[in-house]
């Protein structure tokens, strides 16, 4: 992670508060905070703190006080907007911004109509329903309600009328509702006022595969010795075994653009072959496009179906995925993929020869135009000196005879080795299809 942070304090800063006691047990991982952070980043807003707090009014209030004292311009809260007693966000935000709660009659009707549909499921009686309805239609004085995607309205609350402080955007906890309400939330007057003070960054997204982060760090250090990189914010981050290098800067800065060009040029010069995307496209998206007009089949041993699972994840995958065989046992390799038993005996189930035969079998059995085979030692047991844990054999072959084969030793745990094998296999398919 490289983040020079120069000048970053000048822009609009935000804090995020995700509420929900379940987030503090460690059982549930908060998805809203990272999602909101990524959206805010795209808008040119810098997130300085992300807080997870339980469903306790005093903890939420403390979090809001902390962010106000830290001087953020915007706070986004998620969760705690439901109809029950432990849903406290609106009340806490009303108190924090000195804006008494008032019944919003339009919202009362909107919420009433929605709750009526859920009434049977909630098994509430009429009084409880009316109370829940009223509770969810209470809006801090001067705030803008945001129509619900589920049952709970959101709120865009301007700063405290005397003390000032951050604008607070209050959104529900279910990720689907949060996502559905986001655009409406950005369009509210209080949020628009904050966003008017920012300008989206100019961004460049490079994606590299097969280069260690340390090499990119060395490249960046070398460029930095010749060129002033201060006006540029450089983030390198390893995600899904690919190295993401993101460069961003305030729009219109000639110095920043020159610094960006110097970095991109040097990365291209040293690591050009490893750059697989310049648009931020993921390997999944790239491969989906490349497979247009192809028919792909998989033959998996150590990855156990994860590669096929990933190829079939996008909607529309059935247009190019025929299927696959998970040949976990030797019998399955022979019976379902036609791998000769003597080949397995001669070279072992984990061998370049067997990977090749698996790819041939998948091509033939599925009538595919391209097949990808993976067989390896995922561990933790089963390793030998010659074929240690992490030794994985790949073969990608097209019906017209193009082949790429690899047999690296991959690092990490059993899960890492399986996941990394899936990603490596996808990149090998990409290379066969692009001829790179």
Stretch that binds a copy of itself, among 95-103, 184-192, 270-278, 379-387 (CB under 8 A): 379-387
Stretch that binds a copy of itself, among 135-143, 154-162, 305-313, 394-402 (CB under 8 A): 305-313
Q: How far apart are CA 145 and CA 143, in angstroms?
A: 6
CA angle 25, 28, 33 (to 5 degrees): 105
Q: Is 411 in the site for a copy of itself (CB under 8 A)?
A: no
Cβ 436 vs Cβ 277: under 8 Å: no
- As given in the structure block, the two tokens for residue 427 are 């990149």
Q: How far apart are CA 152 and CA 84, in angstroms?
A: 11
Distance in Å, CB of 142 to a copy of itself, minimum: 28
Q: What count of Cα atoms within 13 Å lies in the side-chain half-sphere of residue 379? A: 20
Q: State which residue, 20 or 159, has the beta carbon closest to a copy of itself.
A: 20
Q: Is 131 in the site for a copy of itself (CB under 8 A)?
A: no
Q: Judged by CB under 8 A, how many residues of this single chain contact a copy of itself?
A: 86
Cβ 18 vs Cβ 52: under 8 Å: yes
Q: Is 26 in the site for a copy of itself (CB under 8 A)?
A: yes
Among 117, 123, 226, 269, binds a copy of itself (CB under 8 A): 123
DSSP 397-424: EETTS-EEEE--B--S-HHHHHHHHHHH
- As given in the structure block, the two tokens for residue 238 are 């390893």
DSSP 349-379: SSSHHHHHHHHHHHHHHHT-SEEEEEEE--S
Stretch that binds a copy of itself, among 15-23, 133-141, 164-172, 401-409 (CB under 8 A): 15-23
Q: State which residue, 285 or 331, has the beta carbon closest to a copy of itself.
A: 331
Stretch that binds a copy of itself, among 28-36, 186-194, 255-263, 269-277 (CB under 8 A): 28-36
Stretch that binds a copy of itself, among 42-50, 256-264, 284-292, 350-358 (CB under 8 A): 42-50
Q: Is 1 in the site for a copy of itself (CB under 8 A)?
A: yes
List the interface residues with a copy of itself, window 380-399 (CB under 8 A): 380-381
Q: What count of Cα atoms within 13 Å lies in the side-chain half-sphere of residue 48? A: 19
Q: State which residue, 3 or 436, has the beta carbon closest to a copy of itself.
A: 3
CA angle 234, 235, 236 (to 5 degrees): 120
Tell me which residue of 283, 286, 245, 281 sits closest to 265, measured CA to CA: 245
Distance in Å, CB of 90 to a copy of itself, minimum: 17
Cβ 244 vs Cβ 1: under 8 Å: no
Among 11, 21, 290, 409, binds a copy of itself (CB under 8 A): 21
Distance in Å, CB of 53 to a copy of itself, minimum: 6
List the interface residues with a copy of itself, window 321-340 (CB under 8 A): 321-329, 331-332, 335-336
Site string for a copy of itself, 45-64 (x = CB under 8 A): --xxxxxxxxxx--x--xx-
Pure H helices in 102-146? 105-122, 126-136
List the interface residues with a copy of itself, window 173-212 (CB under 8 A): none
| Distance (Å) of CA 427 to CA 119, 283, 293 | 50, 7, 18
Place of tokens 């390893």: 238
Stretch that binds a copy of itself, among 163-171, 186-194, 262-270, 303-311 (CB under 8 A): 303-311
Q: Is 222 in the site for a copy of itself (CB under 8 A)?
A: no
């Amino acid at each position: 992670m490289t983040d020079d942070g120069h000048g970053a304090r000048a822009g609009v800063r935000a804090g995020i508060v995700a509420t929900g006691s379940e987030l503090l047990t460690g059982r549930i991982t908060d998805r809203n905070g990272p999602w909101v952070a990524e959206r805010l980043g795209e808008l040119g807003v810098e997130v300085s703190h992300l807080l997870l707090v339980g469903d306790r009014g005093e903890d939420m209030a403390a979090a809001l006080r902390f962010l106000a004292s830290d001087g953020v311009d915007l706070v986004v809260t998620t969760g705690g907007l439901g109809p029950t007693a432990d849903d406290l966000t609106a009340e806490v935000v009303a108190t924090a911004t000195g804006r008494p709660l008032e019944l919003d009659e339009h919202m009362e009707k909107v919420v009433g109509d929605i709750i009526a549909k859920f009434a049977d499921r909630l098994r509430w009686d009429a009084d409880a329903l009316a109370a829940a309805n009223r509770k969810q239609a209470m809006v801090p004085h001067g705030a803008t309600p945001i129509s619900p995607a589920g049952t709970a309205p959101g709120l865009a609350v301007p700063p405290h009328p005397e003390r000032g402080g951050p604008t607070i955007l209050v959104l529900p906890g279910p990720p689907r509702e949060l996502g559905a309400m986001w655009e409406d939330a950005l369009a509210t007057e209080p949020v628009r006022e904050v966003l008017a003070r920012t300008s989206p960054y100019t961004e460049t997204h490079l994606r590299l595969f097969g280069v260690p982060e340390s090499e990119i760090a060395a490249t960046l250090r070398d460029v930095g010795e010749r060129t002033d990189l201060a006006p540029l914010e450089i983030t390198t981050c390893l995600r899904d075994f690919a190295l993401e290098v993101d460069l961003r800067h305030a729009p219109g800065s000639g110095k920043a653009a020159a610094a960006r060009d110097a970095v991109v040029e040097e990365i291209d010069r040293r690591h050009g072959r490893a750059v697989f995307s310049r648009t931020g496209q993921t390997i999944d998206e790239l491969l989906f496009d490349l497979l247009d007009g192809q028919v792909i089949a998989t033959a998996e041993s150590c990855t156990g179906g994860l590669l096929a699972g990933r190829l079939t994840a996008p909607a529309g995958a059935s247009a190019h995925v025929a299927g696959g065989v998970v040949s976990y046992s030797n019998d399955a390799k022979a019976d379902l993929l036609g791998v000769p038993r003597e080949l397995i005996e001669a070279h072992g189930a984990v061998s370049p020869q067997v990977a090749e035969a698996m790819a041939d079998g998948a091509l033939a059995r599925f009538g595919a135009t391209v097949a990808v085979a993976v067989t390896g030692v995922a561990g933790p047991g089963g390793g030998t000196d010659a074929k240690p844990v992490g030794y994985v054999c790949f073969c990608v072959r097209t019906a017209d005879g193009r082949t790429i084969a690899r047999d690296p030793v991959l690092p990490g745990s059993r899960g890492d080795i399986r996941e990394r094998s899936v990603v490596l296999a996808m990149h090998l398919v990409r290379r066969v299809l692009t001829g790179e």
